[in-house]
Amino acid sequence: MIVVTTDHAAHDPDAGAPLEGRRYWEVPARADALLQTVRAAGHQIVPHGDRGLDPISRLHDAGYLRFLKDGFATWRQEGGVGPALRPGAFAVRHLDRLPRSATAQAGYYLATLSAPLLAATWRAAYDAAQTALDGADLILQGERLAYALCRPPGHHACTDLAGGFCYLNNAAIAAQRLLDGGTGPVAILDFDVHHGNGTQQIFYERDDVHYVSVHGDPATLYPFYAGYADETGTGRGLGANLNLPLPPGTRDDGFVAAVRTGLDAIVSRRPTVLVVSLGFDAHEGDPTANLAASSEGFRAIGAALAQIGLPILLVQEGGYIVEKLPANLTAFLAGLGA
């Protein structure tokens, strides 16, 4: 069963608030292409419901949520002009005090220019999180496979920080929902080409969620400051975080082999359910990345997932060649047997 985001199109920085000389790749057409693909294949599709803010607040900081919800309107009241609130300065090491004004808070809560705050951003991010929550509830109700078609994506969102097109961490929110529903230990497999630094940060000190990420080497690819192989968790979470970075240009063989390595690690820890951060931006030529996978690589990953025997919740992340998304999703679902 597929749960879809229904109110995301107005969050469109590329159309409403473009950066000079830079395209904003996370556009509404991405979700539209994926939705058309599953609809054409005859899958059962339902709109998301509304579980409220409480399950989101389980993981995200209250002040951060207030900023996402009210920051744009507050900025306008303070005299802000234009369609998007973007940081004019960033909180960095040694300069990280939380200021009062929305203009200054933008640099505290928004890590990159790729996560601007528009009038429609909160609604889109909130609805994406609700989509993931509905997907988790389907698994709790006994479904063996569910797909949360979320937009905007989420895996770069930390407890109190947006970045990389992400505002609320959909996969992490879904994982917490599963735990709260009594599933027992949860695993997250993330093969979006960019390391899910937000998901890692949220669960880094915990042992009830095993996070495994296959991604391009952060030495040369966003998010740059996280995703290295020596990051394995801390405290109770030691050993529950596995990063498998890949060199630029990695093709299907290396990409699929790394995912299989990650799945072996996941199975060895005996989780009860698997959340998949489903990214298609490892595809060759993706404008945000530097790997070289093909649709057949995603088909092979789907087949590997089909063999592990766990309930699976798919949560949509990246993939920015819109015209390639239908073939990638079709191949992946075919490999998965869906």
- pLDDT tens string 107-118: 999 999 999 999
pLDDT by residue (tens digit) across 251-292? 999 999 999 999 999 999 999 999 999 999 999 999 999 999
- 21 pLDDT higher than 80: no
Residue 195 belongs to a domain: yes
d(C-alpha 134, C-alpha 141), whole Å: 10
Cβ–Cβ < 8 Å for 148, 3: yes
| CATH assignment at residue 285 | 3.40.800.20
- CA atoms of 242 and 212, how far apart (whole Å): 5
Q: Does residue 248 have a cis bond before it (omega within 30 degrees)? A: no
For residues 312 and 294, give the distance between their C-alpha atoms in angstroms, rounded to a whole number: 22
Residue 194 lies in a domain: yes
Q: 144-163: per-residue pLDDT in tens? A: 999 999 999 999 999 999 99
d(CA 122, CA 65) in angstroms, rounded, equals 9
Q: Which one-letter DSSP state was computed for residue 235?
A: G
Q: 199 lies in a domain?
A: yes
CA distances from 32 to 54, 112, 198, 284 (A): 29, 25, 25, 21
Q: How far apart are CA 186 and CA 210, in angstroms?
A: 6
Over the chain, what is the mean pLDDT?
A: 96
Residue 44 maps to a domain: yes
**What pLDDT is stored for residue 275 in this prediction?**
98
Which of 61-70, 93-102, 240-249, 254-263 has the lowest average pLDDT? 93-102
Identify the pLDDT of residue 205: 98
> Is residue 16 very low, low, confident or very high in pLDDT (cuts 50, 70, 90)?
confident
Q: What is the number of structural domains in the chain?
A: 1
Tell me the residue length of the chain. 338
- Radius of gyration over every alpha carbon of the chain, rounded to an integer in angstroms: 18
223 is a domain residue: yes
Check residue 96 and give its pLDDT: 87
The question of whether 215 is a catalytic residue gets the answer: no
Amino acid type, 88? G
Residue 185 has a pLDDT of 97
pLDDT recorded at residue 297: 98
Coil, helix or strand at residue 2: strand
Domain membership of residue 331 (yes or no) is yes
pTM metric for this prediction: 0.97
Residue 73: inside a domain, yes or no? no
Given phi > 0 = left and psi -120 to 50 = alpha, else beta, which region is 126? alpha
Tell me whether residue 110 is in a domain.
Answer: no
The pair of structure tokens assigned to 321 is 């060649």
Residue 65 has pLDDT above 90, yes or no: yes
In the predicted structure, residue 123 carries a pLDDT above the cut 90 = yes
Question: pLDDT band at residue 4, thresholds of 50, 70 and 90?
Answer: very high
Residue 22's pLDDT band (cuts 50, 70, 90)? confident
Helix (H, G, I), strand (E, B) or coil at 176: helix
Residue 2 — very low, low, confident or very high, per pLDDT cuts 50/70/90?
very high
Name the active-site residue from 156, 195, 210, 215: 156
Higher pLDDT, 16 or 71: 71
Residue 195 has pLDDT above 90, yes or no: yes
pLDDT for position 151: 98
Q: Give per-residue burial for 11-42: e unless 16+ CB within 10 Å, then b.
A: bbbeebbeeeeeebbbbbebbebbbebbeeee
What pLDDT, on a 0 to 100 scale, did the predictor assign at position 17?
81
pLDDT > 90: what percent of the chain?
93
Looking at residue 102, its amino acid is: A
Domain of 280, in residue numbers: 2-60+120-336
